[in-house]
Structure formats: structure tokens, C-alpha cells
Structure 1
């Protein structure tokens, strides 16, 4: 990751971690990169390298309970709205008023939330895999079937026990296509880390699936991969009606983990979208 540095900041009483490709650089446009489950900030290494070389400053936080960030003791600590507030608090600490926001998986949900509820902070939006939360929540049966694991993850205690094992419902079986599965298993084997990672599902189930959220004004690039085992194309296509800014959609080949599996293509698409700003 070149000269990227890890920093720490306090938000809500938690010590949270982040990566910064150009500490102190106020002359570079900022890009906030938000990871999902079961990842951490380091998943963006290829994007950080490419965007930094193109003149951007990349900020990639470990969300609460993930990577090197502190673990919250309460379920409410993992509210998506509070996690977005953490990310904006980080930008405030760094003196960054506005940023492009890029998110994958749950990070895409966080990116949507930022663009919905803090539009003045968002320059351009890039969402990978997951559509607007209202479009996702209203998606049809095909998405409900693909997302069966969400209900499984809500079973606190039981899901941790099964996910940590070697059976049909182990993490290796459910998310076995992850390109860095060994690293994921090692990271989530630390005490409390698997529960912390799962809590983003448990804390936001109602807000994402059953509440309606406004449209976003930001120009938006939406990417979905045709072999995604967890998400349907329909929930992303339906998101167009939830964007008031310029909408651009591209269907990709490959599987769910676009930043890790198709870094060169993603980098080209990011640069084309962000340079239009």
C-alpha cells in the first residue's frame, strides 16, 4: 500500500482505526472507502494504490468491531446510522468537508445512508453489490432466497457456533468464495470478533428491510456482478428510481467481492466516475 498510514480516532467513546494514503494533504480530493462483511479496511489496498497515484487521498476506516477498531459491547453500537456518523467524525477530525464515497456490501449500505442523510458531505457516490436500502428491502422473492443467511445471522449464539465450525453452515461454506478466506477466519477467530462482525446485520435488520429511505442527490455509479451469490440484479436496477443525480449502472462478470476479484476493472471505473466531478 505504499506510504499509506494507519491512524486512530475517537468516536462515541470508541478507539477506531483507519488507513490514510496522504495524511495531512488538503489539496487532494478525498475518497472515503467503506468495507462490508466480513472484511476490513485493508480490502481496499488495490483501490487505494490506484486512486492515490491518480491524485486522490484515500481514507478507509475499520468500522466498529472490525479490523483494528474497538469492539462495541451493545447491539445498538452497530447501528448503520451511528457507523456513518463515525466515518463523518473521522472526516471532521481530518478537516475534510466533503468526500467521494465508495462502499461494498454493508459498506454500500453505509455509503447510501451517508448520501441520503448527509448529502452535503458527499461529492460522488459509488455502490458495489448492494442497492439503495429501500430497493433492497422491497426486492422480491429471489433476493429473499439469496439472502437467506441474513435470518441465520440473526440467531445470536447459534450462528456463531455454527459459523465457527466445519459443517454446512460454517463460514467457510457460507462465504467460501471469499478470495481471502484464510485471513477472514483468522481475524474472526479472535475473541468477540465474529459476534461484532455479525452485529451489523442484527442492529440494522428492521431499518434496512422495513423502513423507507429518501432518494439521494449525488451522481451515482452502481456496480453489480452477475455471479453474485448473495444479491440479485433487480435490487440494484430498482435503485435508479432512488437517485436524483446522474445514474450510471454497469453489470460486471465475476462474483461478489469486486474490489478483491476485479481490482483493475474497478479502478478504471472509479477513476472515470470520480474524475467527472
Structure 2
């Protein structure tokens, strides 16, 4: 697989992305605290099956610029980055695969610009309305978010004891090394936390629109942060079909812990009907 690296200037933001393959376009959106590298085991499978795959570093991550203002990470700007990238690439439409924050961006994109997206695979994160209505059990899973909202304090706590917080999130040395490399440079950890600080409205009751795009929701039963209910209930917010898949024995980062099963699901879902 010939993986190409690119930079593009989007309304003053220098954005990095990798691409490979030819055929129908699939855009892969990562979450916290990853970069495009989280998709390294999905890229070859998609390319080998005839897809053109684009995996950006989201705003503030990896080799994409990190604006200093917390407000620059509001979901409206995150979505504008992806639509701008599509316009730059000349893509009238594409399929989306989003994980964690990338999933939330994907839901918002499909709400606001359904004509641009053929299909959407939401990994871990359900529709924002389903998350907001998932009840006390889901809110308890989000205990860490309250800490993330405190500037300076959160940054210090995450870096403390040789990044103990990150070390508790994975047992994979390669994953930990990737996170540290992405978050250690000046301003990068704050940029990642600004996703939470700039988007508090996503956790509140809101008149979220339904999605007019076919959706597959994939949830892993060892995800400590996101419960099954918020994904199952996303069915009620999808008008063009919702397919639910449950990955037993997989953790939050299903790209790594259930690679073959996830890849098979993606290939089956993305295949034109």
C-alpha cells in the first residue's frame, strides 16, 4: 500500500492527512487522544478492497495546526474542516467512519450535510441526542470529563507521574508511545482537552436533528466510557436505516482490539447495496 502524506490550508488552518488507494472515498475520523495512526490496521484492508481512503489528523492533533483558543474546537469548526478537505479533494460525496470524537463529528456532519455522505459508520459514540438521554449510568461513565474541563489542573493531572492517566488507558506500548508523541509538544494536550471544553452543549438535551444517511453503529462491550444504551437508542434518530453491531471482548479502541472483526464489518457495510 502506497500511503501518501499531504498538507492543505483550510481557512487558515494547516491540516495534515494521509491517503491511499482509488475508488469510492472513505474518510476516517479519529478521536481522543489519537491521530490518523489509529487507523493503521484499517487502511490496508480498505485499500485492498477498492476504496480511496483519507485519514486526517483532526484539528489540534498530530501534524495539523492547534489553534490556541478553546472556542476554535467547537464542533462547527471541526465539521467545517472535514467539508473543506472534501472540497479541496473534489469529493462531492464520501462515506464516513468516525470513532470517539470522530464519531461525534460524523454524526454532526450527517445531520448538517447529508447530501455529502453515502454512509456513516459510528464507532463507540452514538447520536448526540441518544448520549444526552442515556441516563445516570452513562453520566457516571463520563466522570473524567469534569476533570478535563478545568484548565491547567487537567493538563497537570494527565501529565503527572509520567503520564499515569494515559498508562491506565492502554496496555499496548505502541499505543502509549503514539499518544505521548502526539500530546507532549507545547499546546497539544490543551488542544485535545479543548474538544471537551468547547462542546459542553453536546451533553445537554437539545433539538438534535435526525440523520438522513444510512448508519452502522458499532459498540464494544469492554468500553469503559460509553455504554450500550446510547448506541442502541441511536436507532430512533436515523431515518435511512440503522444497523447495530456489538463487538464482544473488545475495548474502546476496537480498531486495535478487534481489528479483523471491525474490518469485516466496515467492508460489508460500505459495500454498495
TM-score of Structure 1 vs Structure 2, range by shorter chain:
over 0.9
Distance in 1 between the 2:162 and 2:28 partners? 33
Q: Unpaired runs of 5+ in structure 1?
A: none
The reply to whether residue 266 of structure 1 matches residue 262 of structure 2 is: yes
SS for the counterpart of 1:216 is coil
Deviations 1:80-129 (CA, angstroms, capped at 9, x unpaired): 12111111111111111000000000110011011111100010010000
Deviations 1:173-223 (CA, angstroms, capped at 9, x unpaired): 3x2456711221232111111111111111111244342311101111110
Q: Which residue of 2 aligns with 1:39?
A: 34
The reply to whether residue 276 of structure 1 matches residue 272 of structure 2 is: yes
Alignment of 1:207-218 (within 5 A): 207-218=202-213
Distance in 1 between the 2:142 and 2:162 partners? 19
Q: Which residue of 2 aligns with 1:228?
A: 223
Q: Which residue of 2 aligns with 1:15?
A: 14
Q: Which residue of 1 aligns with 2:98?
A: 103
Q: Which residue of 2 aligns with 1:116?
A: 111
Offset of 1:170 from its aligned partner?
Answer: 2.8
C-alpha contact (below 8 Å) 1:166/1:172 kept by paired residues: no
Distance in 1 between the 2:181 and 2:163 partners? 19
Distance in 2 between the 1:140 and 1:67 partners? 34
Offset of 1:47 from its aligned partner?
Answer: 1.2
Greater shift in the superposed pair: 41-50 or 120-129: 41-50
Structure 1 segments of 4+ aligned residues over 4 angstroms from their partners: none
- From 67, 72, 79, the counterpart of 2:74: 79
Describe the shift of the 1:223–1:114 C-alpha distance in structure 2 as closer, same or farther (beyond 3 A): same
Greater shift in the superposed pair: 262-271 or 164-173: 164-173
Distance in 1 between the 2:164 and 2:107 partners? 30
Distance in 2 between the 1:48 and 1:18 partners? 13
Q: Which residue of 2 aligns with 1:193?
A: 188
Offset of 1:172 from its aligned partner?
Answer: 2.4
C-alpha contact (below 8 Å) 1:52/1:58 kept by paired residues: yes
Q: Which residue of 1 aligns with 2:137?
A: 142
Offset of 1:169 from its aligned partner?
Answer: 7.0
C-alpha contact (below 8 Å) 2:121/2:216 kept by paired residues: yes
Describe the shift of the 1:187–1:116 C-alpha distance in structure 2 as closer, same or farther (beyond 3 A): same
Offset of 1:263 from its aligned partner?
Answer: 1.4
CA RMSD in angstroms, aligned pairs only: 1.6
How many matched pairs?
A: 271
Distance in 1 between the 2:229 and 2:164 partners? 27
Q: Unpaired runs of 5+ in structure 2?
A: none
